[in-house]
Amino acid sequence: MAQSLLSESQQDYLKIVLDLINEKKVARIKEIAQRKGVSMPSVTEAMRKLSNEGFVQYSAREFVELTSAGEITAHRLYSKNLFLKSFFVDVLGIEDSIAEKEACEVEHHLSVVTLDRLILLYQFLSECKKNDQLTLHLFKTCVQSAEGMSEIDPDCKSCFVASNFPHRLGKSTVHTLLSKMSRGQQGQVVMLGPDTDLRRKIIEKGLMPGSVFVLEEEGNANSPFRVLSDGCSVELDVNAANIIEVAIEQSN
């Protein structure tokens, strides 16, 4: 059975068994159940299936052992999880507890191609002598400024506002704020501004860099802007509309 065909739950079981063996030399059904947060009968059934598929050796009332295939698979899963957590913490600045939880969720869905690119990005930002870690330092400064963890650097602040347009200018493209668009205009989101709360509310509404939309209704301080994106109508107050940079294609 290929690793890619293992269910998320089975992958978690293999990592737990590996953790217990590394920590305590043995993996017991009771301890696996405690770590997984399930009943002992559920673990027993899972171990039987993994045994039938050649990943563990298990008989009733005995310790669980990893086969050669199970050990290799568990190690790969553990290494992927460890890297993703490091990426989230070291590069993105995510808190340890959140990074650990989300690394477990993301690891099940990444192809080796995407994982390889993330590793290359991590290595470039962390170790490439061409940038001498300047790029990663600037990104961390940007995060701190954007989230109010430090005084906003003037250069960081101007990165998000109209005074620094355009960020990506095509031959027939102009950039503006969503709040300055006219009804019926189509635009593509380029950048979200530095207000953390507003930015996250916009993201939760499904508008992110790359999103294409049509302005259905112009808003103001008393009424919301309304845009249609991917068939979904989204309302935005004027403050949100003022921090969304948009690229608009101009007709020739």
- Residue type for position 96: D
Q: Which fold has domain 162-249?
A: SH3 type barrels. (2.30.30)
pTM (global) more than 0.75: no
CATH 1.10.10.10 domain span(s) along the chain: 3-73
Which contacts qualify for 158-165: CB closer than 8 Å, 24 or more apart?
160/191, 160/192, 160/193, 160/194, 160/243, 160/245, 161/193, 162/245, 165/245
**pLDDT tens-place string over residues 80-114:** 898 999 899 988 989 999 999 999 999 888 888 88
Q: What is the CATH architecture of 3-73?
A: Orthogonal Bundle (1.10)
CATH 2.30.30.90 domain span(s) along the chain: 162-249
**pLDDT tens-place string over residues 28-65:** 999 999 999 999 999 999 999 999 999 999 987 789 99
